[in-house]
C-alpha cells in the first residue's frame, strides 16, 4: 500500500459516496449512503444539505475502518457534487432553506424574464449555455422574488460540494468548474461577469470567491475530525462538479477526449482547449488548467431505470439480495433477452423534463410502439436504448458545433452493465472504453487532491500512473443500419409530440 492515501467524496443526486485510494489508484474501501429528495410541487426538487453532512459522517468512519487505514496517512481530500445547486447559507454557514437541486424546474418565469431583460445571445456569448431552469441564475432569481427574506439573509450561495467542503474545513468558496453553470460567468477570463450579474439584478457579494479545482482551500477542523474520523489538519481542495470529476477520472487531457457518465442522469463530456460559447449544450471548466468541457446532459436516463426498478421491478428487488446481486444487475440480464431494437419499442427518456439538446421542462417519458406482444425485457431494453439515443443526439450536436469526440470512455453506475455498454457502442458505432476500477467521480476527486498536495507532479502524471483501460466494447456493424433507422424514428418523436407535451403541462 502506498504511504500516500487519497480520499474522494461525491455528493450525488441520490447518495453520498466516499472512496479511499492509494496513490496508484487502487481502491482500498468505499461506502455510500442514500438520502431523500423532496418534491414539494411539480417540477420542484429539494434536499436538506445537512443530510449530505450526516451521510458523510456515516460513511467516512466506515471507509477508514474497512481500509484499516491511519487517517493521518490521507494526503488530501477532494469533494465533487451534483451541479448546479443553490445552497444559501448564513454567515455561520448554516443553510437558510433546503437546497434547490439541478433538476429543479420551478424557475421558468425567471427564465422568460432573463430572455427579455438580458437576452439569450448576450449570455451565450460570455458565459456559454442557454437560459434554462437547470442553471443557477434563474433559481437564485426565484429565491429573490419568492423568498426575499432568504435572499436578504444569504451570506453565500454554495454548491453541494462547496457546502461539504465548508463543513470539513470551514472554507467558503466555489470551484472554477461550476463557473459557467451560474450563467453570469466570463468563461474566457474565468471570473464572474459583473456586467451579466448587474443586468440580472443579482448581488455578486453573495457569491463566494472562485478557486481552482485542484487548490487546497483549508484543512479538516477538529470538529469535523471528531464527527468523521478524519485527521484534523488533512488538506481539503476546492473540488469540482461531478461531471468534471468524471472527466478527470477518465483521463480527459486533450481536445476530443470524451467520457460518458450515467447515474441518475447521463452526461457526455468532451475535452476542449477553448470554452463552449454556444447554447445547445452546457459549458464547463475542466479541473485541468487551460482546458474546458463541452457537455451534453440528459436528466433522467439512469433515473428512468431506477423508476422501473422501484415501480415495476418488485421481483428483482426481492430476488437480488437472495442471489447476492444488485436488482439493476437482474434488470440488465433481462434486457439481454430482448433483441436490438426492443422488438420495435422506442423510449423517450424525458421522465423529468429534459436538458440538452431539446431543453424542454414539459417533455415527458414515452414508450412508443407498445403492443400486446411487448414483454418486460423489451421495456427494460428500450429504456437503455432510449438513453443511448439521447447520448447520440448530444454527440451529434457537439460535432455539428465543432467539438467531435475522438475517443469515448464510460464511467459511473451505468458502466457496470455490459448490456448497456454494448448498446451504446452499437447505437453510436463507436468503441466504448472502461477504465480499470471505475468508481465514478470519487477517483477524479482523489486525483485532483493528489495533484494539489504534491502526490503527483501534474495531472498528466496522475493519469499516466492511475488511469488504465480495462475493457473495450466494440460496435457490432451488423446492427448499425437497424439502430440508424430506429434513431431516425427517435429523433422525429419529440418534434411531433412537443405541442402535446406543452398542452399536457398546461393541464397539470
Encode pLDDT of 298-319 as tens digits: 999 999 999 999 999 999 999 9
pLDDT tens sequence across 353-371 = 998 999 998 999 999 999 9
Domain residue spans in the chain? Answer: 5-238, 250-508
Q: Same CATH fold, 250-508 and 5-238?
A: yes
The predicted structure's pLDDT at residue 1? 43
Which residue reads 463557473 in cell numbers?
179
CATH class of 250-508: alpha beta
Report residue 3's pLDDT band, with 50, 70 and 90 as the boundaries.
Answer: low
Contact 473, 431 (CB under 8 A): yes
CA separation for the pair 252, 223 (Å, rounded): 36
pLDDT tens sequence across 476-489 = 999 999 999 999 99
pLDDT tens sequence across 209-267 = 999 999 999 999 999 999 999 999 999 999 999 989 989 999 999 999 999 988 888 98
Contact 173, 119 (CB under 8 A): no
CA separation for the pair 169, 167 (Å, rounded): 6
Q: Check if CATH label 3.30.420.40 holds for domain 5-238.
A: yes
CA separation for the pair 490, 506 (Å, rounded): 24
pLDDT tens sequence across 45-83 = 999 999 999 999 999 999 999 999 999 999 999 999 999
DSSP state of 97: S
Contact 434, 474 (CB under 8 A): no
Arithmetic mean of pLDDT, 395-410: 93
- Whole-model pTM: value is 0.90
pLDDT tens sequence across 140-169 = 999 999 999 999 999 999 999 999 999 999
Gyration radius (Cα) of the chain, Å: 22
CA separation for the pair 224, 169 (Å, rounded): 7
Amino acid at each position: 500500500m502506498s504511504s500516500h492515501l487519497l480520499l474522494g467524496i461525491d455528493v450525488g443526486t441520490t447518495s453520498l459516496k466516499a472512496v479511499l485510494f492509494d496513490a496508484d489508484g487502487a481502491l482500498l474501501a468505499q461506502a455510500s449512503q442514500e438520502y431523500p429528495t423532496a418534491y414539494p410541487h411539480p417540477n420542484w426538487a429539494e434536499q436538506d444539505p445537512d443530510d449530505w453532512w450526516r451521510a458523510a459522517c456515516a460513511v467516512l468512519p466506515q471507509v477508514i475502518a474497512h481500509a484499516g487505514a491511519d487517517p493521518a496517512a490521507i494526503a488530501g481530500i477532494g469533494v465533487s457534487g451534483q451541479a448546479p445547486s443553490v445552497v444559501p447559507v448564513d454567515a455561520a454557514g448554516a443553510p437558510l432553506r433546503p437546497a434547490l437541486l439541478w433538476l429543479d424546474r420551478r424557475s421558468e418565469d425567471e427564465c422568460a424574464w432573463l430572455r427579455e431583460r438580458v437576452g439569450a445571445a448576450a449570455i451565450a456569448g460570455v458565459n456559454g449555455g442557454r437560459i434554462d431552469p437547470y442553471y443557477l441564475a434563474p433559481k437564485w432569481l426565484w429565491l429573490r422574488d419568492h423568498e426575499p427574506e432568504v435572499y436578504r439573509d444569504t451570506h453565500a450561495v454554495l454548491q453541494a460540494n462547496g457546502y461539504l467542503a465548508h463543513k470539513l474545513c470551514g472554507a467558503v468558496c466555489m470551484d472554477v468548474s461550476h463557473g459557467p453553470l451560474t450563467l453570469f460567468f466570463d468563461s474566457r477570463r474565468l471570473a464572474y461577469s459583473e456586467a451579466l450579474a448587474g443586468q440580472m439584478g443579482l448581488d455578486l457579494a453573495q457569491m463566494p470567491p472562485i478557486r481552482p479545482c485542484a487548490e487546497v482551500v483549508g484543512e479538516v477542523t477538529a470538529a469535523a475530525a471528531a464527527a468523521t474520523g478524519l485527521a484534523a489538519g488533512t488538506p481539503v481542495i476546492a473540488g469540482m462538479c461531478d461531471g468534471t470529476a468524471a472527466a478527470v477520472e477518465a483521463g480527459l487531457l486533450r481536445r476530443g477526449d470524451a467520457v460518458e457518465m450515467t447515474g441518475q442522469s447521463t452526461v457526455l463530456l468532451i475535452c476542449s482547449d477553448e470554452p463552449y460559447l454556444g447554447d445547445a449544450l452546457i459549458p464547463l471548466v475542466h479541473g485541468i488548467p487551460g482546458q474546458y468541457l463541452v457537455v451534453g446532459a440528459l436528466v433522467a436516463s439512469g433515473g428512468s431505470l431506477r423508476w422501473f426498478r422501484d415501480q415495476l421491478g418488485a421481483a428483482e428487488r426481492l430476488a437480488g439480495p437472495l442471489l447476492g446481486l444488485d436488482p439493476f444487475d437482474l434488470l440488465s440480464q433481462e434486457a439481454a433477452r430482448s433483441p436490438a431494437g426492443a422488438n420495435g419499442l422506442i423510449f423517450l427518456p424525458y421522465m423529468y423534463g429534459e436538458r440538452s439538446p431539446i431543453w424542454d421542462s414539459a417533455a415527458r417519458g414515452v414508450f412508443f410502439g407498445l403492443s400486446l406482444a411487448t414483454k418486460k425485457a423489451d421495456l427494460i431494453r428500450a429504456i437503455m436504448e432510449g438513453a443511448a439515443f439521447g447520448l447520440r443526439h448530444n454527440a451529434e450536436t457537439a460535432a455539428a458545433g465543432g467539438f467531435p469526440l475522438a475517443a469515448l470512455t464510460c464511467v459511473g453506475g451505468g458502466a457496470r452493465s455490459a448490456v448497456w455498454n454494448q448498446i451504446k457502442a452499437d447505437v453510436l458505432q463507436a468503441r466504448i472504453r472502461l477504465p480499470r476500477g471505475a468508481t465514478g467521480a470519487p477517483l477524479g476527486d482523489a486525483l485532483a487532491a493528489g495533484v494539489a498536495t504534491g502526490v503527483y507532479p501534474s495531472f498528466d502524471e496522475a493519469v499516466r500512473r492511475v488511469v488504465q483501460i480495462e475493457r473495450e466494447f466494440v460496435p457490432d456493424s451488423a446492427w448499425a443500419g437497424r439502430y440508424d433507422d430506429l434513431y431516425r424514428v427517435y429523433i422525429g418523436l419529440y418534434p411531433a409530440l412537443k405541442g402535446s407535451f406543452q398542452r399536457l403541462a398546461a393541464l397539470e
